[in-house]
Amino acid sequence: MPELPEVENTRRNLVRAGLPGCAISSAEITWANTVKKPSAAELAVGLKNRTIQDVQRRGKYLVFPLSGAGPANFIVHLGMTGRLLVQPQSQGPDPMTRHSFPLDDGRELRFVDGRKFGKLWLVDSPAEVLPAMSPEPFDDQFTVETLAESFAGKKAPVKALLLDQSIACGLGNLYADESLFLAGLHPERPASGLSIDEVARLRQSIIDALTAAYGVYDRARDQHWPDPPTALTTWSHPRDVKADCPNCGTKMTAIRVRARGTYFCANCQV
């Protein structure tokens, strides 16, 4: 599932492809359930001849402010498997392409979405769509204090809270595991039991995990342009119980935390 680094990678890919400034000529929606607001037909009409001004991201949502009359924001959630690509109209589309948005320059914005969990909106304001989210991990407002406050009084496993977008927006299963691995914290520790030093270590580990992932994607984009990869292994903990912890050599442990597959080192993470 795309998490913050994958969505940010998509954003950077689209910016590099020169999507801002392009006008959408039409919209071909082949799976209407993807469109959450308004109807698929209204979305198609509403996008026609609108110019994409920018590609922005908030949490795992991509926001495309549009110029001209009509709802001002096209919003995309990639769901489980979604990818957004800008390709020449002459290039054969991936068979899993669900929606196509021909652009005025001979290219096409394509939403490839094998499992069809992606979502689209065309609305006046992102506030109509976006849920309550924590500050972005790279924002100054994502502080040790706010994270500690979110954990206060909560007996839930710290891993479960890291998946709550109102606590650490953009984190999903993989980067929650990686942040806890880097911080040396056991995923089942009750969140309220973490010391302030441990919360500080966790906050820094979240930032370190995301920074490393951005770096991997940025290098891959440079190397593989114009076909950058969209899903890479960017984390350092092995997700395999036959593999050794890279720090201490202990075999990795797999458990379930609130039904989510969780990998950790029972020796390093306490």
User: What does the binding site for Zn ion look like in residue numbers (CB under 5 A)?
Assistant: 245, 247-248, 250, 265, 267-268
Could you check whether the bond before residue 20 is cis, i.e. omega within 30 degrees of 0? Answer: no
CA triple 91-96-101, angle to 5 deg: 55
Closest approach, Cβ 245 to Zn ion, in A, equals 3
Q: Quote the CA–CA distance of 9 and 50 in Å, as a whole number.
A: 24
Q: 76 or 245, CB closer to Zn ion? A: 245
- Is 20 an annotated catalytic residue? no
- Is 251 an annotated catalytic residue? no
The answer to whether 252 touches 263, Cβ cutoff 8 Å, is yes
- Is 5 an annotated catalytic residue? no
Q: 11 or 237, CB closer to Zn ion? A: 237
Q: 17 or 209, CB closer to Zn ion? A: 209
| 3-class DSSP assignment, residue 166 | coil
Q: Quote the CA–CA distance of 144 and 222 in Å, as a whole number.
A: 34
Beta bridge partners of 85: 110
- Is 28 an annotated catalytic residue? no
Closest approach, Cβ 240 to Zn ion, in A, equals 14
Q: Quote the CA–CA distance of 142 and 146 in Å, as a whole number.
A: 7
Closest approach, Cβ 252 to Zn ion, in A, equals 8
Closest approach, Cβ 247 to Zn ion, in A, equals 4
Q: 121 or 263, CB closer to Zn ion? A: 263
Name the one residue in this structure whose structure tokens are 């920018």: 54
Catalytic residue among 11, 60, 189, 201: 60
**Total Cβ atoms within 10 A of residue 62:** 21
Residues with a catalytic annotation lie at 2-3, 60, 260
